C-alpha cells in the first residue's frame, strides 16, 4: 500500500510545512493568528499544513480549523498515559485533539534535559495512540565545526528510533541547532546533504521503501525569503518553521512557495 502522504500519481512525497509557535501567543492571540492565516492557507493544495500552538490554545485553534485543510500538532508530550506527573500532558490527552506532535526539539534537549532515551519513549508513546511524530534531530555549532554532523545526526536517529518497528507516519525534521532562531539558516546544499544522509540511515535501519517514503523537513531560520532554496532540494520535503510561523503573511507565503516549487518539479 502506498502511504497517504505520497502522491499516488507521481510517486512523490507530499511536502509538509509545520509552524512551531513555541511559547508564544495567548489564547486570544492564537485565535487572531489563525484567523489571519486561514484565508490564504486553506486553499493551497498539495502541501500538508500543520500548526503547532501551545497546549492551552490547541482546542481554540482546533475549532477554527475544523472543516479546513489545515492540521494541528502539539509541541511535546509526556510518555506516560496518566498518573502523578504534575504539569505534564499525556499522549491520550492529545490523541483526540491533534494529528501531529513535535518530539525531541533541540530546545527540549537543551533546556529540559531530554535525552535519546526520553525521546525514544516519547516517540513510542505517540505512535501507540496514532499521533504522527515530527522527530527533531540536529547538531550543535561546536559539533558542526568539529565535522561531527553526520555522527551526531546518525546517533540521534538511532537512539530515537531504537526498537521501533512501525514508524507509521513519522516525519523527521533536520534542524541544525546553530540555525534555530539565529537568522543564520543552513544552505540548501548543506541541508540537502544531511537530509540525504538521514534518508540513507533510515534505509539501513529499516528498508529502502520506508526511506523513500519518509518525509524529511529542514528547520532553522526558515523565512519567506529563503524557503525556495530548501524545498527545491530533492531530499527536503518541507520545513519546520519557528519565528516566521508567527507572522500570518510570512507563513502563508512559505506554504504557497512550497506548493509552487513542488508543482513545478512534478511537471
Ligand atoms: P526558527 O525555529 O524558524 O525560529 O529558527 C525553528 C524551530 O525551532 O523549529
CB-defined site of ligand 1, < 6 Å: 20, 175, 180-181, 219-222, 240-244
What does residue 25 show for φ and ψ, rounded to 5 degrees? 80, 130
Catalytic: 175? yes
Q: What is the pLDDT of residue 8?
A: 64
Q: How is residue 47 written as a grid cell?
A: 502541501
Distance in Å, CA 220 to ligand 1 centroid: 5
C-alpha–C-alpha distance, residues 16 and 48, integer Å: 4
Spell out the per-residue pLDDT of the chain, length 267, in tens: 457 777 766 668 999 999 999 999 999 999 999 999 999 999 999 999 999 999 999 999 999 999 999 999 999 999 999 999 999 999 999 999 999 999 999 999 999 999 999 999 999 999 999 999 999 999 999 999 999 999 999 999 999 999 999 998 999 999 999 999 999 999 999 999 999 999 999 999 999 999 999 999 999 999 999 999 999 999 999 999 999 999 999 999 999 999 999 888 765
Whole-number pLDDT of residue 5: 78
Active-site residue 105, yes or no?
yes
Q: Number of H helices and number of E strands within the chain?
A: 11, 10
Helix axes 27-41, 248-266, angle to 10 degrees: 30
d(CA 233, CA 228): 9
Using CA atoms, how far residue 175 sits from 13, 121, 207, in Å, is 20, 20, 23
Angle at 196 between CA 192 and CA 201, to 5 degrees: 150
Radius of gyration from C-alpha coordinates of the chain:
17
User: With a threshold of 0.85, does the pTM exceed it?
Assistant: yes
Q: How far is the CA of 165 from the centre of ligand 1 (A)?
A: 29
Ligand 1 atom 2, closest CA = 242
Q: Catalytic: which of 107, 114, 139, 175?
A: 175
Instruction: Count the alpha carbons within 13 Å of 31 in the hemisphere toward its beta carbon.
Output: 7
Nearest CA-CA partner of 254 in 265, 243, 11, 114: 243
Tell me what pLDDT residue 9 has: 66
> Residue 53 corresponds to which cell in the numbers above?
500552538
Amino acid at each position: 500500500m502506498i502511504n497517504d502522504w505520497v502522491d499516488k500519481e507521481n510517486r512523490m512525497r507530499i511536502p509538509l510545512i509545520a509552524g512551531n509557535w513555541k511559547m508564544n501567543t495567548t489564547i486570544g492571540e492564537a485565535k487572531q493568528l489563525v484567523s489571519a492565516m486561514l484565508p490564504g492557507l486553506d486553499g493551497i493544495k498539495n502541501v500538508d499544513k500543520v500548526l503547532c500552538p501551545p497546549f492551552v490554545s490547541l482546542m481554540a485553534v482546533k475549532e477554527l480549523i475544523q472543516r479546513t485543510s489545515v492540521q494541528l500538532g502539539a509541541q511535546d508530550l509526556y510518555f506516560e498515559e496518566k498518573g502523578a506527573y504534575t504539569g505534564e500532558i499525556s499522549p491520550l490527552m492529545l490523541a483526540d485533539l491533534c494529528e501531529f506532535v513535535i518530539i525531541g526539539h533541540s530546545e527540549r534537549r537543551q533546556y529540559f534535559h531530554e535525552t535519546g532515551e526520553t525521546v525514544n519513549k516519547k516517540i513510542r508513546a505517540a505512535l501507540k495512540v496514532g499521533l504522527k511524530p515530527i522527530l527533531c534531530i540536529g547538531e550543535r555549532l561546536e559539533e558542526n565545526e568539529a565535522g561531527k554532523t553526520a555522527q551526531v545526526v546518525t546517533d540521534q536517529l538511532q537512539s530515537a528510533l531504537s526498537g521501533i518497528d512501525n514508524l507509521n507516519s513519522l516525519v523527521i525534521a533536520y534542524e541544525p541547532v546553530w540555525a534555530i532562531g539565529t537568522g543564520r539558516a543552513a544552505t540548501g546544499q548543506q541541508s540537502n546533504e544531511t537530509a540525504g544522509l538521514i534518508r540513507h540511515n533510515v534505509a539501513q535501519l529499516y528498508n529502502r521503501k520506508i526511506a523513500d517514503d519518509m518525509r524529511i523537513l529542514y528547520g532553522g531560520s526558515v523565512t519567506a525569503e529563503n524557503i525556495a532554496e530548501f524545498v527545491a532540494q530533492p531530499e527536503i520535503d518541507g520545513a519546520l518553521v519557528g519565528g516566521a510561523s508567527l507572522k500570518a503573511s510570512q507563513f502563508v507565503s512559505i506554504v504557497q512557495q512550497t506548493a509552487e516549487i513542488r508543482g513545478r518539479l512534478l511537471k
